[in-house]
Amino acid sequence: MPFVGDHLSFTRRRFVQGVAAGSALLGLGLHAAPTRAEQLQARLGPKVLSGTRFDLTYSPLKVNFTGKERFATAINGSVPAPILRWKEGDTVTLKVTNNLAEDASIHWHGIILPSDQDGVPHVSNGFKGIRPGESFTYRFQVQQSGTYWYHSHSGFQEQTGAYGVIVIDPKEPEPFTYDRDYVVMLSDWNDEDPSRIYAKLKKLSDYYNRRERTLSDALADIDKMGWEGFLNARQMWNEMRMSDRDISDVTGYTYTFLMNGVAPADGWLGLFKRGERVRLCFVNGSAMTFFDVRIPGLKMTVVAADGQYIEPVTVDEFRMGVAETYDVIVEPSDDRAYTIFAQAIDRSGYARGTLTPDPALTAEVPEMDPAPILGHMDMGMDMGMDMGMDMGMMGHGMHGMNHGGMKMGHDMSGMQHGGMKQRLPMGSGPAGYGSKRPVVHAPTEYGPHIDMRADAARYRLDDPGIGLRDNGRRVLTYADLRNLGKTPDPREPEREIDLHLTGNMARYMWSINGVKYADAEPIHMKYGERLRINLINDTMMNHPIHLHGMWSDLETGDPDHIPRKHTVIVQPGARISYLVTADAMGGWAYHCHLLYHMAGMFRKVIVS
User: Does 228 sit near another protein (CB under 8 A)?
Assistant: no
Nearer to Cu ion, 347 or 597 (CB): 597
Residue 504 touches which member of Cu ion, another protein, none, C-beta under 5-8 Å by kind: another protein
Whole-angstrom Cα distance, residue 92 to residue 134? 20
Nearer to another protein, 202 or 526 (CB): 202
User: Does 106 sit near another protein (CB under 8 A)?
Assistant: no
* DSSP letter, residue 247: -
Nearer to another protein, 13 or 196 (CB): 196
User: Does 212 sit near another protein (CB under 8 A)?
Assistant: yes
| x/- track of binding to another protein for residues 1-40 (CB under 8 A) | xxxxx-xx--------------------------------
User: Does 518 sit near another protein (CB under 8 A)?
Assistant: yes
- Find residue 148's DSSP bridge partners: 166
Whole-angstrom Cα distance, residue 22 to residue 35? 8
Q: How, if at all, do strands 163-169 and 530-537 pair?
A: unpaired
Amino acid letter, residue 403: H
Nearest by Cα to 306 from 291, 293, 323: 323
User: Does 101 sit near another protein (CB under 8 A)?
Assistant: no
Nearer to another protein, 102 or 334 (CB): 102
- Strand intervals (E) in 492-585: 495-504, 509-512, 523-525, 530-537, 543-547, 552-554, 564-565, 567-570, 574-581
Question: Which residues, numbered 148-207, are part of the site for another protein (CB under 8 A)?
Answer: 154-156, 193, 195-196, 198-199, 202-204, 207
Residue 4 touches which member of another protein, Cu ion, none, C-beta under 5-8 Å by kind: another protein
Scanning 66-74, 408-416, 487-495, 514-522 for contacts with another protein by CB under 8 A, the matching segment is 514-522
Nearer to another protein, 32 or 199 (CB): 199
Whole-angstrom Cα distance, residue 29 to residue 251? 24
| x/- track of binding to another protein for residues 58-97 (CB under 8 A) | ----------------------------------------
**15 CB-contact burial (10 Å; exposed 0-12 / middle 13-18 / buried 19+):** buried
User: Does 532 sit near another protein (CB under 8 A)?
Assistant: no
- Find residue 91's DSSP bridge partners: 141
Are the beta carbons of 82 and 45 closer than 8 angstroms?
Answer: no
Are the beta carbons of 284 and 293 closer than 8 angstroms?
Answer: no
Nearer to Cu ion, 20 or 592 (CB): 592
Rule CB under 8 A: choose which of 151, 347, 410, 516 binds another protein. Answer: 516
Phi, psi torsion values for 221, nearest 5 degrees:
-65, -40
Amino acid letter, residue 469: R
Residue 212 touches which member of another protein, Cu ion, none, C-beta under 5-8 Å by kind: another protein
Whole-angstrom Cα distance, residue 526 to residue 600? 25
Question: Which residues, numbered 537-556, are part of the site for another protein (CB under 8 A)?
Answer: none
Nearest by Cα to 188 from 255, 248, 254: 255
Alpha-carbon separation of residue 58 from 152, 342, 438 (angstroms): 10, 28, 48
- Strand intervals (E) in 30-81: 48-50, 53-63, 70-75
* Total Cβ atoms within 10 A of residue 174: 17
Question: Which residues, numbered 434-453, are part of the site for another protein (CB under 8 A)?
Answer: 447-451
Instruction: Tell me how many residues contact Cu ion (CB under 5 A).
Output: 4
CB of residue 186 to another protein, shortest distance in Å? 22
User: Does 506 sit near another protein (CB under 8 A)?
Assistant: yes
| x/- track of binding to Cu ion for residues 533-572 (CB under 5 A) | ----------x-----------------------------
DSSP letter string, 572-590: TTEEEEEEEE--S-EEEEE
Whole-angstrom Cα distance, residue 119 to residue 175? 32
Rule CB under 5 A: choose which of 597, 600, 604, 607 binds Cu ion. Answer: 597
| x/- track of binding to another protein for residues 569-608 (CB under 8 A) | -----------------------------xxx--------
Rule CB under 8 A: choose which of 6, 172, 239, 521 binds another protein. Answer: 239
Nearest by Cα to 444 from 510, 513, 516: 513
Residue 448 touches which member of Cu ion, another protein, none, C-beta under 5-8 Å by kind: another protein
Question: Which residues, numbered 333-392, are part of the site for another protein (CB under 8 A)?
Answer: none
Nearer to another protein, 211 or 564 (CB): 211
Nearer to Cu ion, 330 or 505 (CB): 505
Residue 543 touches which member of Cu ion, another protein, none, C-beta under 5-8 Å by kind: Cu ion
* Total Cβ atoms within 10 A of residue 315: 20
Nearest by Cα to 321 from 564, 147, 568: 568
Q: Where along the sequence are the contacts to Cu ion (CB under 5 A)?
A: 543, 592, 594, 597
Q: Where along the sequence are the contacts to another protein (CB under 8 A)?
A: 1-5, 7-8, 102, 154-156, 193, 195-196, 198-199, 202-204, 207, 210-216, 238-241, 447-451, 504, 506-510, 516-518, 598-600
